[in-house]
Chain A
Amino acid sequence: MSELLIKNAVVCDPINKINCEKMDISVKDGKIVDSVSSGAKVIDAGGKLTMAGGVDGHTHCAGKINVGRFMSPHDMRMTNVPGLSGKEAPTATTRAQVGYNTPNAFAIGYRYAKLGYTTIGEAAIPIIGARHTHEEFEAIPILDKFGLTLFGSNWQVMEYIRDDEPEKLAAYVAWGLKASRGYGIKIVNPGGGEAWGWGKNVSGLDDPVPNFDVTPAQIVVGLAEANEKLNLPHSIHLHCNNLGKPGNYETTIATMKLLENIKSKRDRQVLHVTHVQFNAYGGTSWRDFESAAPQVSDYINTTDHMTFDLGQAIFGPAMTMTADGPVEYSNSRMLHAKWSNMDVELEDASGVVPITYSPKNFVNAVQWAIGLELALLVKDPWKVMFTTDSPNGGSFVNYPEAYTYLMSAKRRAEVIETLPEMALGRMNIPGIDRELDLYELAIMTRAMQSKMYCMDTKGHIGVGADADIAIYDLKPDSVDTSVEYAAVKKAFSGATYTIKGGEVVVKDGEITMTPEGRTYWVNAKMPQAVNDAMQVDLVQKFKRYYTVNQANYMVEDAYLPHPVEITTEAI
Chain B
Amino acid sequence: MQTVTLSLKEKNTIPIEADAINPDNFASKSKDDIAAIMVWYGNAQSPIGDLFDVSIDGSDSAGNTKIIINGDVSRVKRIGQDMSAGEIVINSSVDMHCGSNMTGGKITINGDADSWLGCEMKGGEIELNGNGGYYVGGGYRGEACGMKGGKITVTGNVRDYLGEHICGGEIVVKGDVGLLPGISNSGGKIVIEGNTTMPASEMKSGTIIVKGKVAELMPTFKEDGTEEVDGVTYRKLLGDVNIAGSKGVLLVK
Contacts and interface: CB of A to CB of B under 8 A. Distances in A.
Interface string A54-89: 000000000000000001111101000000000000
Interface string A454-493: 0000000000000000000000000000000000000000
B141 A74 contact: yes
Interface residues of A, number: 7
A74 B120 CA distance: 12
Contacts of B142: 71-75
Interface in B49-107: none
Contacts of A77: 140
Contacts of B144: 74
Contacts of B140: 73-74, 77
A75 B140 CA distance: 11
Contacts of A74: 140-144
A72 B142 CA distance: 6
- The DSSP consensus for interface residues of chain B is loop
A336 B143 contact: no
Contact of B244 (A71, A72, A336): A336
- The DSSP consensus for interface residues of chain A is loop
A73 B143 CA distance: 8
A71 B144 CA distance: 12
A73 B141 contact: yes
Report the contact-size class of chain B (Cβ under 8 Å from the partner). Answer: under 10
Contacts of B141: 73-74
Interface in B117-164: 140-144
Most chain-A Cβ atoms within 10 A of its Cβ — which of B140, B141, B142, B144?
B142
A56 B142 CA distance: 29
Nearest to A70: B142
Nearest to A336: B244
A71 B244 CA distance: 22
B32 to A, nearest CB: 27
Nearest to B141: A73
Nearest to B245: A336
A71 B141 CA distance: 9
Interface string B233-247: 000000000001000
A75 B143 CA distance: 9
B242 to A, nearest CB: 12
Interface in A76-131: 77
B222 to A, nearest CB: 20
A151 to B, nearest CB: 33
Contacts of B143: 74
Contacts of A72: 142
Interface string A506-517: 000000000000
B138 to A, nearest CB: 13
B21 to A, nearest CB: 21
A193 B224 CA distance: 44
Interface in A326-362: 336
Contacts of A71: 142
A217 to B, nearest CB: 36
A74 B144 CA distance: 9
A74 B142 CA distance: 5
A195 to B, nearest CB: 25
A72 B144 CA distance: 11
A551 to B, nearest CB: 39
13 contacts: A71-B142, A72-B142, A73-B140, A73-B141, A73-B142, A74-B140, A74-B141, A74-B142, A74-B143, A74-B144, A75-B142, A77-B140, A336-B244
10 closest residue pairs by CB, A with B: A74-B142, A73-B142, A73-B141, A74-B143, A72-B142, A336-B244, A71-B142, A74-B140, A74-B141, A73-B140
Interface of A: 71-75, 77, 336
Given A74-B140, A77-B140, 11 more contacts: A71-B142, A72-B142, A73-B140, A73-B141, A73-B142, A74-B141, A74-B142, A74-B143, A74-B144, A75-B142, A336-B244
